[in-house]
Every structure is written in structure tokens, then in C-alpha cells.
Structure 1
Amino acid sequence: MSLLPLDDAPGRLPTGRSLTPPPVRFRARAPRLLRSALVTLPLLLIGVWAAVDWQTAYNGTTRLGSADPWWLLVALFFTCLGWLSAPCIRQGALPERLPAGLLIASQFAAGAANHVLPASIGAHAVTLRFLQGRGIPLARATASLALYSAVKPIARTLVLLVFLVAFPDLLLTGRLVPDQRTALLVAGAVTLALAGTAVLVTTVRPLRRPLLDALRCALTDVRVLHTRPARILALWGGAAAAPLIQASVLFAVGAALGLSLSWVQVAFAFLAASTAVGAVPAPGGIGPVDAAVVFAMVALGAPMDLSATAVIGYRVLTVWLPLLPGALVLSALVQRKVL
């Protein structure tokens, strides 16, 4: 006869015990592993992109080495000034006041993510996470992203119209006027986008509720924001100033290389090109916008080689220069649980 108690007999489990221990360690380690992956992911993506497109950065940096350094300092000044435009618009799109330092840091980090993923997905994802970390509800945060995305092209188009009214001679060249085929393609793309959104909202039920909540919140916030002069100035003033600051960077780089176009011509070329093809889902607008800017500058009388070199130099200052610091700031914000 066995002298073991019933609970300790072979093949029997003690009362209240289990052979499978609770996965406490795994659950505790999973968030740490995920956060560590998120910290290193921006640097990994930047490294992959640098390996793929290193020739562009090398050529642009080499050509800038022989440019006028004083004009390059002016271009660098406007580049740094442009880093403040996105936080200004973000704050203008939200009734709640955000901490200025963290907002600027988050948008600097969002700029790095924006140049990796197309259609501003990376920047919006970083901003959405930042807003939720500040206690902003999901519907309101989503509404602010939608308002930000809507105000920027509207403001850019209004600035372009002001240029056309103030400087009608810029349209004397017919090469900048889109033909009927191009206009039909743009209209068709807009119609398809609106129709696709409507189909998704009406057929996919899980999307309907959050989208309708975000739409109601957006309409409410728009009414509230436009009763505050400070928010109006930050939202619309920042959105109108952003393309002009970017055009000033391009003009300064062109002047450093000996480009003969005036600031008005360069700004008009940049506004027209970014308005025409800015909706193409490329990372940071790189590619379609660059080609369109070069085409517009050549149409206004600039040499092809100088126009292309100026655009490459512009991309080196606005994309490659802040890319690594932006990725480091993004990793630091994730490490400190700000994102």
C-alpha cells in the first residue's frame, strides 16, 4: 500500500495546482520586446532607404559642395523654419492646448516617418499615437488629422490663386496649363477616391461607427476652432506659410547654384507642381513632385541641369539632412513612452 497522500500520488495533481504555469513572464516581456522593436525600426527603415537611394544623396551633396555657402545658409534657415510649420498647423487643428516642446519633437519625428511611408501614413500614425498619449480621445485625434490633411491642400491652392491674380504674366507660357486629358484624369481620380470612401463607409460596418464619430467630432471642432483667432491663425496661417517656406528653400538652393529665376517664379513653379501632383501617394511626395517642379522651372525658362540640381539640393536639405536626427528623436520618444 502506498504511503503517499492522495494529492501527491503519481498521476494525480495536487488540489488547486496546474502543470502549465501562468505565462506571466511572457506577458511581461512582450511589451518590452515590442517597444524595443519600435525603437530600432525607424533606424532600420532609414538604413534600408539610404542603401537604396544613396546615389541621390551623394550626388546632391557633391553638387552643393561647389555652391555659394551664404545662399546655402539662407536655405538652411528656411529649412529649420519649415520644421515649425507642421506643429503650428497641428495645434491649430485641435482645441486642446498641447505641450509645445513635445509637439515640436513629435512632428520632427513624424517627418522622418513621413519620408518612409507613402501618403503621409507614417506622419499621421506618429501624430495619432502622440495625441492619444496626451489624453486626446480617438475620435477627436482622428478628426484633427482629417482637418490637417484637408486644410493644407486648400491653403496651398488659395496661395496659388493669389499668385495667379497678383502675377498674371506667369501663365503666359501655355506649357504650365494642364490639357484636357490631364484635367479629366485628375477629375476621375478624385471621383474614384470619393466613391471608394463612400463604398467602404456603407459596406464595412466596423469602419462606419468610428468614421461617423470622427466626422461628427470634426464638424464640432471646426466650429469651435473658428471662434478662436489664435487657432485660426495657427491653422490657416501655418498651412499657407508652409509651401512658401519650402519654395524659399528651393529658391535659395537655386540661387546658390546660379539659377536665374526670381523668387516669385520659383514659388509659383513649386506651388503649381505640388498642387498638381501632390496627391500622388509617394513617400514625402518624392518623385512625382520633384519631376513636376523641374518641368515647371524649365517651362519658366530655367536650364534643365540647373533645375534638376536645385531640386536634388532641396531634397538633400529638407529630407536627408533631418532624416537621421528625426529617426533618433522618434526612437527616443518611443523609448520614453511619449509615443
Structure 2
Amino acid sequence: MRPLGCIGLLIGLLGIFALMLIAQDWRGAGPTNRALTVQVPRGASLARAATELQKAGAIDSALRFRAYARIFGDGAPIKAGEYDIPASASQSKVLDLLQSGKVRQRFVIVPEGLPSVLVQEALLRSDGLTGAVDVPREGSVLPDSYAYERGDTRVSVVLRMQKAMRDYLAAAWKKRKPGIAVTTPEQAIVLASIVEKETGKPGERRMVAAVYGNRLRQGMPLQADPTVIYPQTKGRALGRRILRSELDAKNGYNTYAEAGLPAGPIANPGKASIDAVLDPAQSPALYFVANGTGGHVFANTLDQHNANVQKWYAIRRARGEM
């Protein structure tokens, strides 16, 4: 073989070997042995993203990453957001991730019956959200888990929570049963918030809703303890027994002192409590009292109720609570 032919063959082999090394570098394990989080700013170019990846330790060289992306990538744009980079992720996998837009999901969880002052606190504690937020209007937030991305504003999350409530209430109201005690969606939320706070077991929601609906129709006071507490704490735990002065107070919320619904919701009710108010159990019950197991026993008459109360007192005495 001629010398020039040998040299050409050698160069060719070296080129193939170099390409193999480059491909291995592109698809091989990355430099980090732990998972990382990298933020790609809105409007960032591939060069900016590569710089952020190198700073975080997800890649060794921003310059090399960009060159490889041009050689092996499909040219699809990267997407802004916060990304979880797995340990040892290859540069190829990192580029695929940034192009996919599969950003890290964070969540604000609003349990059923959470008052709005605690919704605000949950938002303020949520890492990655920005900006201030006022206490949402009571009863305006639908309890659920809400995903957000780093950099989202707290106000934007509240607006999503409130839209979810409006949408659910509108759909549920259209399916309401005829003859229910509430006449507007707003009243439904008020009563649902009471049902939410008074229900010990999920299976009792429709019965509790029936009792309060029956009382409303007969003009009886609802006599719901959580409504007495609400003006004092805005939904936080009272931490003590209700005072006689609080039971006698007329403040628009005390359903012992005044008949009818309170002035507004006392919490953010969940879907099940809203549904219970719009489709209560078919029952003439007017009373309920705790039964010692986390639930309640229901009664149609005052005599039945008084007997149930005495049973509850006996349970409490046996427990040393009285």
C-alpha cells in the first residue's frame, strides 16, 4: 500500500474513533452523581441554558454541550422552567429534557374545610412562588392540589383556585335536587362550609346537610358551633371551650343567637360537601350529636335527641372528660 493511502486510512480511522468518542461523550453518563435542579429563565437561548447547566454541575462544558447539540440535536427549541436533572444524566438526556418542557411540578395543597387565612399561609410558605397575596374571600377557593412552577405568582395560583370553585359550583348547581333549602349558589357555599366543619365521617355529609336544610325550612336556629367560633378566629382552632358570651353574641355568624344562614362561609368547602347540600339525604331529622366514634347519631324529635345527648354524656364521663 502506498504511504499516502496508509496515511489516508489512518486519518479515516482516527476520525471514526473521534466520532465514537464524541458520541460516547454525548450519550454517556454525566458528571454529577446526584440529582440536580436547574432553572432555565424565560426567553433563554441554548447558550444561556448551557451556562446554567454548567454552573449547576449537570454538564462539564457549556461550549461542548452547544456543539454536540448542533451535531446530534434535532434543532427543537428548549423551553423555560425548572428542571430536575437525574444523577449521571447524559448530555443527550439533558437536552431532551429541556426540549420536552417536562418541568418540575410543585404543589399547594388546600384540604377540604381549610379557612382562607390558612390558604394564605400555605401560599406564603410555598417555595418558588413570588409576590404578596391577600387573604382570599372565604369560600371562594376550591380545595384541591394545585401545581405551579418556580416563578409563578401567588396571586395567579389564587385566581386558579377561585376559577376552579366557580366552575365546579356552576356545574353542581345545575344538577341540584328540587326542593333544597338554599336558593342561590352563594347560599349553597355558606351551608356547605358548615357541613364541612361539622362532618366527622364522609358518609354523614348528606345527613348533616339534611338536618340543616330541615332547620332552615322550619326557621330553627342551625346551632352550629363552628359558626360561633368563626368571628373569633377566622377559622383557626379556638383552643378552648366556647364562652357563654360567645353563644349569646349577635354578630351575623352566631347560629345559636340568630336563625338562618350566617353572613358568609366559615371555610372553603370541598366538592363532597357542596354536593351534599345540593343533594341532601331524604330524612326528617332535626338534631344530631356525637356518638363517641367520630360520627354522629341523628334524631327526628327533641325527646330522641335529649336521650342521645345523655348517652354522649355517659361516654364522656366514662372517658373522664366530664
**TM-score tier after normalising by the smaller chain length:** under 0.3
State the structure with more CA Rg.
2
**Structure with the larger helix share:** 1
Q: Which has the higher contact order (CA 8 A, sep 6+)?
A: 1
**Structure with the larger strand share:** 2
TM-score by length of 1: 0.22
TM-score by length of 2: 0.23
